[in-house]
Chain A
C-alpha cells in the first residue's frame, strides 16, 4: 500500500518506495529529490528564497535543500544517484512591479535552482511559474511527479 505523506508549508518529508509525498503550492516551491537506485526521496516545501540566518531551516530554499540532501544521504542515498524536480513558484496574475511580494514565486525558483546546482544535483524536470496553484504528488516507487493544476494533470518521469 502506498503511504501518503502530506508535507505542509515550510516542512520537509522524506521516505522510501512506495510512499507518496504530497503538497499544495502557490508561490512556494516544492523541491523533490530522488535516489533512483535506492528508491528513496524527499520533498521540501519552501516559502522564501533566503534564510536571514536565524529562521527555521525548512522554510527557506538556501537552508532547506542542504538539510534535505543530508537527510537523504543519512538514509542511505548516494549523491551520484540523486536528481531533482521542481514545481510551484507561481505569481499573482497582476501586481504593481514595485511590490516585491509579487516576485517571490520567481525568486523562490531561481534560488532553488542555484542551491541545487551548488550541491551538484541536476534539475531534470520543472513545472514552475505562471499563475496556477499546484497539487503535487511525488511517487517514491519510481520518482515520478504528478502535477495537478488548473483542472489538468501532468506527469514527469525523468529520474
Chain B
C-alpha cells in the first residue's frame, strides 16, 4: 500500500470541491420524483429553470430510444407522454454526460468509451429488470447503470501510476482488480464513486449500486436484486468489449447475483447474444 497515494485520495474525498459536480437539477428531480406530495407540474418547472439541460433533455426525449413517436417540445409534454420515471432517467443522462464523457487515462479508456459503457449498462440493466419481473425498479437500474463507474473518473489519475502493481497483485494473489486497487491505493473506484454520489445527494439505492457493483453479495439485503442487475449488465457489456479498459475482465462474475435474479445459463447467453441490439439502442442515446 502506498500511504502517500492513500493520503492524496483521502484529501480529494475530504475536499468536496475536488470531486466532480453535476447540475443541481439532477438531485432535486431524484428527490421530487419520490415525494408523492409533489406534482408533475412542479417537477417540470424545476427542470425548465435550467435552460441548457432542458434543451438536451428534449433532444433525448425525441431520440430513437426514448421517443414514443410523437414530437415532444416541452418538459410538461415529456412527462405526460413518457412518464415521470422515464423523464427522471433522461435528466440523469443529460446531467452526467459531461462528467462521464471524457478520456479516462489510467484505465486506458478513449474519449467516450466510459460514457458508452455506462449507457449500454443502463439500457441492459433496464432490460434485465423488465425480464425478471422487476419493472417497478427498471428506471433505478437504468440510472445506476449510467453512473456505476463514476469513481473511475477520479481514481484514474492514481491508477495511471500504479497500474503495473495493481495488475501484478491481481495475478499474484488471484484477487479481482478492484480489490487490488484498494490494497495498493487504499481505495477502489467503487468507494470513490459512492463518495461522489454523497456529494451529489443521490439516494441510498444508487449509492449501493455504485459501491457494490463488483461484489453484490456485500450489498445491503434490500438492494441486492438491483445491485445484482447492474452487476450482470456490467459483466455482459465488458465481455462484449463495450467500454473495456485496462482492468479488462479482471473481475468476478458473482454467483450470488445470478442466483438472486434466478438467471439460467440459457438466459445469460441470450442476453449476451443480444448485445449488438443493446449497443444499437445505447448509441441512440449517446
Report A's interface with B, CB cutoff 8 A: 8-10, 23-28, 47-48, 55-56, 59, 88, 90-96, 98-102, 104-105, 130-133, 148-151
**Known A-B contacts A101-B253, A102-B253; A10 and B248 likewise in contact (beta carbons under 8 Å):** no
Interface size range of chain B in the complex = 20 to 34
Asked if B276 lies at the interface with its beta carbon under 8 angstroms from chain A, I say: yes
CB distance from A49 to the nearest CB of B (A): 11
Q: List 14 A-B contacts (CB under 8 A).
A: A26-B239, A26-B240, A26-B244, A27-B239, A47-B275, A91-B249, A92-B252, A93-B177, A99-B255, A99-B265, A100-B268, A131-B248, A150-B167, A151-B164
**Known A-B contacts A93-B251, A149-B248; A133 and B268 likewise in contact (beta carbons under 8 Å):** no
> Quick one: which of A9, A100, A133 contacts B249, CB cutoff 8 A?
A133
CB-contacts of B224-251 with A (<8 A): 235, 238-242, 244-251
Closest chain B residue, CB of each to CB of A27: B239
How many contacts between A and B, using CB within 8 angstroms? 115
Asked if B47 lies at the interface with its beta carbon under 8 angstroms from chain A, I say: no
Bound: A28/B272 CA distance, A? 11
Question: In the assembled complex, which residues on chain B have CB atoms less than 8 Å from the CB atom of A132?
Answer: 248-249
Do the beta carbons of B275 and A150 come within 8 Å of each other? Answer: no
| 10 tightest A-B CB contacts, nearest first | A133-B244, A95-B253, A26-B241, A94-B252, A27-B239, A133-B248, A132-B248, A101-B268, A92-B253, A100-B265
Closest chain A residue, CB of each to CB of B171: A131
Main secondary structure of the interface of A (DSSP, over half): loop
Report B's interface with A, CB cutoff 8 A: 108, 163-164, 167, 170, 174, 176-177, 235, 238-242, 244-253, 255, 258, 265, 268-269, 272-273, 275-276, 279
Do the beta carbons of A133 and B269 come within 8 Å of each other? Answer: no
Question: In the assembled complex, which residues on chain A have CB atoms less than 8 Å from the CB atom of B248?
Answer: 26, 90, 130-133, 149-150
Do the beta carbons of B170 and A9 come within 8 Å of each other? Answer: no
Question: In the assembled complex, which residues on chain A have CB atoms less than 8 Å from the CB atom of B246?
Answer: 133, 150-151
Closest chain A residue, CB of each to CB of B258: A99
Do the beta carbons of B273 and A59 come within 8 Å of each other? Answer: yes
Question: In the assembled complex, which residues on chain A have CB atoms less than 8 Å from the CB atom of B265?
Answer: 98-101
> Quick one: which of A9, A93, A150, A151 contacts B242, CB cutoff 8 A?
A9
Question: In the assembled complex, which residues on chain B have CB atoms less than 8 Å from the CB atom of A9?
Answer: 240-242, 275-276, 279
Do the beta carbons of A93 and B249 come within 8 Å of each other? Answer: yes
**Known A-B contacts A26-B240, A101-B268; A93 and B176 likewise in contact (beta carbons under 8 Å):** yes
Question: In the assembled complex, which residues on chain A have CB atoms less than 8 Å from the CB atom of B163?
Answer: 151
CB distance from B204 to the nearest CB of A (A): 28
CB distance from A47 to the nearest CB of B (A): 6
Question: In the assembled complex, which residues on chain A have CB atoms less than 8 Å from the CB atom of B241?
Answer: 9, 23-28, 88, 133
Bound: A101/B273 CA distance, A? 11
**Known A-B contacts A59-B276, A101-B265; A27 and B253 likewise in contact (beta carbons under 8 Å):** no
Closest chain B residue, CB of each to CB of A23: B241
CB distance from A3 to the nearest CB of B (A): 18
Bound: A77/B115 CA distance, A? 39
Bound: A48/B272 CA distance, A? 9
Which one of A27, A59, A105, A148 has the highest number of Cβ atoms from chain B below 10 Å of its Cβ?
A27
Bound: A96/B176 CA distance, A? 14
Closest chain B residue, CB of each to CB of A24: B241
